[in-house]
A = this chain, B = another copy of it.
Amino acid sequence: MTDPAWLDDREQRAWRGFLAVNAAVRGRIARQLQQETGLSSADYAVLVSLSEAPGGRLRVFQLRVAADWEKTRLTHQITRMTSRGLVAREPCADDPRGAFVVLTEAGWEAITAAAPRHVGHVRHWFFDALRPEQVEALLDINDTVLGHLREADRTMGVPCSPCDVPPCDDVLP
């Protein structure tokens, strides 16, 4: 492989800082939420994803947990949450091999109790630091990069339908 255009110092700092902010903010929120509610960040992501779906129900592959999770790891996550009563599995009429994951009463209670705490942590660790114009700049950066990815997916013919693959915008709530 020929040498790529290496990142210059500004780009190197911007990339590492971008990863560092994400890891540090999410790490702090995850640790606090775990201590206060017993929910891991993966538990929380699954509960949010289900709570926003019609009927609190999604196919396993539609759950938005993290972009880099293998299918096996997601299956284990759902099994653990099922045994804790936070979610339940239901058969899928259209697909004998498939299954729905559904939010239980206990799951609704857990996400309802955890959400205000989570929001408080997001505000404390992230938005309390930022001036309004920085929030605007972040919105602009997000839209630009996500548009760039969508355009690349479109050019490469990557399907975006939730019936085929996980959504192209891998949102981790």
Contacts and interface: CB of A to CB of B under 8 A. Distances in A.
Interface residues of A, number: 65
Contact of A125 (B28, B66, B116, B149): B149
Contacts of A5: 119-120, 123
A163 interface: no
A116 B125 CA distance: 34
Interface in A4-30: 4-7, 10-11, 13-28, 30
B27 A68 contact: yes
B24 A67 contact: yes
A116 B22 contact: no
Interface of A: 1, 3-7, 10-11, 13-28, 30, 41, 66-68, 116-117, 119-120, 122-123, 125-131, 134-149, 152, 168-173
Given A28-B149, A41-B68, 14 more contacts: A4-B120, A5-B119, A11-B135, A15-B127, A18-B138, A20-B172, A21-B142, A21-B146, A23-B68, A24-B146, A125-B149, A129-B147, A131-B144, A134-B140
24 contacts: A3-B116, A4-B116, A4-B120, A5-B120, A6-B119, A14-B135, A15-B126, A16-B173, A17-B139, A17-B142, A17-B143, A19-B171, A19-B173, A23-B170, A23-B172, A24-B170, A26-B67, A28-B149, A125-B145, A125-B152, A128-B148, A129-B144, A130-B145, A134-B144
